[in-house]
Amino acid sequence: MFREILSAFAKETAIDRAFVELEAMLEDGAWMFERANEVLHSRVSAEQAEEAIYERDRRINARERSVRRKLLRHLTVNPGYDVPVCLALLSVSRDAERIGDYCKNVFEIGRFYTRGFHVAKYHQPLEEIEGELGGIFRTLAFACRDPDQQEAARARRDQAREIQRRCDQLIEELFEDEGEIEFHEAVAYSLLARHYKRVAAHLTNIASAVLGELAELDFEPGAEGD
């Protein structure tokens, strides 16, 4: 639906280029998420990954600014035209930028916490969530290019919402286990649950845009507690 809306304004090259940049931001975010988790699980050293992760983040930031410039210029030249589409692109480009920040947060946990994960009650659900988020990234990137992927995008949005609930539940259980788990490990689990939840929240927003459900978008990501 979102791609169909944009195709109706195909003559507006600024909108089309902004959409391409948003897609690239999502792909970079997926790469950052995967590499940050490789560091977290000691499959790649922090030293090996750090420069590339932060370079991808800078690239995402530059693209977000580029999208904003293109769309604001377009709205200035064409006041009153394409406003819903432009607002949606502005909103979800900000979501994609924020995902990069949370991927850096996951990387930093892997860099600073090196004692390993030993409590299956928390470790296994978080690993499952990690894998699911990777799948959501891939589906949404594909759905941005293919308007026939609406049902897949809708299913992934529902999945991302459920991940947020599961992350909240894990954090609640960690508080109840106070004194029964090593402090530093509990902090690491809690931070991971929080960061995965926020990645899922921003992917939910992007999925809503892909589905063309613009009323579902939060045009100020962070207003509800990033």
Q: Is 81 helix (H, G, I), strand (E, B) or coil?
A: coil
Calculate the average pLDDT of the chain.
Answer: 87
pLDDT tens digits, one per residue of 39-82: 999 999 999 999 999 999 999 999 999 999 888 888 888 777 77
pLDDT band of residue 8 (cuts 50, 70, 90) is very low
Out of 34-38, 88-92, 172-176, 183-187, the most confident range is 34-38
Confidence band, pLDDT 50/70/90 cuts, at residue 170: very high
- pLDDT higher than threshold 80 for residue 23: yes
Domain made up of 2-216: CATH architecture: Up-down Bundle (1.20)
What confidence category does residue 218 fall into, taking pLDDT thresholds of 50, 70 and 90?
Answer: low
The DSSP symbol for 117 reads: -
Q: Is the pLDDT of residue 213 over 90?
A: no
Q: What are phi and psi of 121, to 5 degrees?
A: -55, -30
Q: What is the pTM of this model?
A: 0.88
How is residue 126 written in tokens?
């978080």
- How would you label 21-52 residue by residue, b for 16+ Cβ within 10 Å and e otherwise? bbbbbbbbbbebbebbbbbbeeebebeebbee
Q: Which residues contact 137 (CB under 8 A, 6 or more apart)?
A: 26, 29, 30, 33, 203
Which of 77, 56, 75, 57 lies closest to 67 in space, CA to CA? Answer: 75
Residue 99, C-beta contacts closer than 8 angstroms, at least 6 positions apart:
26, 29, 32, 33, 60, 199, 202, 203
